[in-house]
A and B are shown apart, each in its own frame.
Chain A
């Protein structure tokens, strides 16, 4: 495992982050937007683990552990919001959810 350059991991992470961001801005299904956010979180985790291994420092992997915990909490709350939205509006299409729009 000695000869994979650090840049490969960083470029892969940037590409995955871009894909996630593109999903957030183009999709209209709230659950798929939620999954794109998970994609972006994971892209950043790849960067953190790569730096942690290349520098021989455990802090990056600890941060990934806490990011995963926060992502689990976020998914529980986010999906609860989707459920209560669906109960009130019978849709998860974000174009039709505009009750907070000015």
Chain B
């Protein structure tokens, strides 16, 4: 195996392991810390795809801002550990995991059957399109309308979060 493939396999195994640890920890703080590791690993995977800008904002926005917000809320609410469920194999869990497994098999089958004529190597332009310069240029020319529209989404989220979280003063 080439060295790039070894790097990919290590990062992928780490990503899957941290994702599994995230959804199995009973203490929400440990789950959040594993999720921070997961997001940092995905940043490394984006680097193997020559997407430098996305890798940086993945670490800044996800592993930094969003997870700090999540940890802040966990500590604000003083949530205790989820109590052990009496029956691990309840009907809900069995049906849920079964449905998820079917979904995953369908996705994998579609991938195996549908990517025969897609490109097999990373395109040579990808080294240029992932840079901050190129993405910034696209963002303020071709994508200026979505860029402005997304700022309204953020404004609505700020107002909504304040309205939802504030105490009702009747």
Q: Which residues of A contact B10 (CB under 8 A)?
A: none
Decide if A7 touches B112 in the complex (CB within 8 Å): yes
A50 CB contact (under 8 Å) in B49, B85, B99, B146:
B49
- Chain B, residues 32-48, CB within 8 Å of chain A (1/0): the string is 10010011001001101
Q: Which residues of B contact A10 (CB under 8 A)?
A: 111, 115
Knowing that A46-B42, A92-B77 touch, tell me 18 more A-B residue pairs with CB under 8 angstroms: A1-B48, A6-B115, A7-B115, A8-B12, A12-B12, A14-B111, A18-B101, A19-B19, A20-B19, A22-B100, A26-B23, A31-B28, A39-B38, A45-B54, A65-B57, A69-B150, A73-B153, A76-B160
Q: How far is the CA of A32 from the CA of B158 in the complex (A)?
A: 22
B residues with a Cβ closer than 8 A to A are: 2, 4-5, 8, 12, 15-16, 19-20, 22-23, 28, 31-32, 35, 38-39, 42, 45-46, 48-51, 53-54, 57-58, 61-62, 65-66, 69-70, 73-74, 76-77, 79, 82, 85, 92-93, 96-97, 99-101, 103-104, 107-108, 111-112, 115, 118-126, 129-130, 134-135, 138-139, 143, 146, 150, 153-154, 156-158, 160-162, 164-165, 167
